[in-house]
Every structure is written in structure tokens, then in C-alpha cells.
Structure 1
């Protein structure tokens, strides 16, 4: 892989976000969720996380049908966990149809991390 390729991939992904990613980003950007800074399409090692809160060690993934029962996703989650990240995965249709419930789960994860940081 050439230097800067992950960065270029992340930039391309930011320009072509799915509807579910756009909906989540609307609620996560500008420290809107408990003052936490989320980055979208953020490179971490060989992967690009959909949304990452570095300060809380939290990654949020919005997955489409191609991710169903994916061994690659399990490997990705193991890699990210080995780097100290907690990974939350949501199906795109849940993000779009049950946005508030998804945001509540993210909020709970952030609040749990905030308590452990105290």
C-alpha cells in the first residue's frame, strides 16, 4: 500500500457517505453528543472507521447488507479492540428507521466510558 492511500480512501469515503452515515454524522458532528469529538471515515491502522471518538476509544460503524455474518468484520473488530477501541455496529436500516434508539445506545456507550474515565 502506498503512503497516504488510507488517507485518500478516507477522503473518498467522506464524499460518498451512505444515507445512514449521513444521518449519524448529523447527530455526531460538532460535539453534539455529550461534547464528544467524533471523526468520520477515520483511518486506524489498515482500516477506515465510519465514526471514531478517539478520546473515548469508541468506534461506531453503520453496516449494510454486505456485512452480514462477515468474517472480515470480526477480524476488523478484533484489530480495533486490540488497539483499545470499543466497536458499536448498527445496520443501516436501523440507523434510518430507529435513529433515536441507535443514538441512545451510542449515548449509553459514551456515558459508560465517561464514568470509567473518572
Structure 2
């Protein structure tokens, strides 16, 4: 059963996610979950660069993750000695970059 998880995304990233979600017809949560699946389950984090969120310059977002996905994120967080939030920010940044470039190339 999916469990509620609250994450904090930088304001600029939240705006990019919302813009991308609107262009693709997805929700913010859909974009973030796609990011987790694409960049955290299949990538080796070769270019991982931790982004931290200071007080006041973030937007809280609630996503629902099943036990398997949440468990994997906990393991990855422990293995990389970083927060789940930082991992999600990394994946979401990469997803926004990828799809923004793709949509631009396609003229959409």
C-alpha cells in the first residue's frame, strides 16, 4: 500500500517540474516518480551531486511511494550516505533537463 512521503524541492525546481508536468499532461507527483524510476533505480549515480535545501527556499510536495520503492530509496540513501530528499532532487533535476531538451528538439 502506498505511503505518503513529504519531500522538499527547491522553488526553481518545483516551477520546472510543474511546467514540464503541464506540457506532458502529468502531475507533479508523476514527474517525480518517473524521475525516481529512471535515475535512481537504473542509474549508477556517476554524476551525483548532492543538493541541499535551506530553510524557506523550498516547496513541500507529497508523493505516495509503495513499500518496495520506499525501501529501495532508504537502502540507496544509506549506501550513498545522503538523504532520500537529496536523491529525489538529483533525479528530478535530471528528468527536467532530459524532457525539456527533448520537447525543445521536437518543437513542442
> Aligning the two structures, in what range does the TM-score lie when normalised by the shorter sequence?
0.3 to 0.5
* Greater share of strand: 1
TM-score (norm 1): 0.32
Bigger RCO (CA 8 Å, 6+ sep): 2
TM-score (norm 2): 0.34
